[in-house]
């Protein structure tokens, strides 16, 4: 059999399989993220306030659909709280409050 007539045994991942893998990875990340946010539900009101959140923020984030990442919603809540209190937002890479 000539080289050009041989079937292409090494082919890239079919597009449909690639989309499926990306979806599964995204879902796994969302589930892990949700698990981490559930730990915030154990914080008392003072601890949540220290990081710019309320109990309602955490509960609302956990009510988001399973495929959404609740931490994204909590970051927006903390940023809004910081703007309201006239504080600088948390540093993007560390999630900690920065001082000017």
* DSSP state string for the chain: --GGGS---S-PPPHHHHHHHHHHHHHHHHHHHHHHHHHHTTS-HHHHHHTT--HHHHHHHHTS-TTS-HHHHHHHHHHHHHHHTT-PPBPTTT--B---
- Band of residue 100 on the pLDDT scale cut at 50, 70, 90: very low
pLDDT of residue 69: 86
What mean pLDDT is predicted for residues 6-11? 57
Tokens of 67: 């495929």
0.75 exceeded by pTM: no
The answer to whether 77 and 52 have CB atoms below 8 angstroms apart is: yes
Which residues lie closer than 8 Å to 48 by C-beta, 6 or more apart? 40, 54, 55, 57, 58
pLDDT in tens, 26-78: 989 988 999 989 999 999 999 999 888 999 999 999 998 888 889 889 999 88
pLDDT of residue 80: 87
């Amino acid at each position: 059999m000539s080289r050009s007539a041989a079937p292409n045994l090494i082919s890239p991942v079919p597009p449909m399989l690639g989309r499926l893998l990306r979806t599964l990875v995204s879902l796994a990340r969302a589930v892990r993220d949700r698990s981490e946010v559930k730990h915030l539900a154990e914080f008392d009101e003072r601890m949540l306030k220290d990081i710019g959140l309320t109990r309602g923020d955490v509960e609302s984030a956990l009510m988001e659909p399973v495929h959404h990442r609740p931490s994204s919603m909590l970051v927006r809540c903390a940023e809004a709280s910081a703007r309201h209190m006239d504080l600088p937002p948390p540093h993007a890479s560390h999630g900690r409050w920065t001082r000017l």
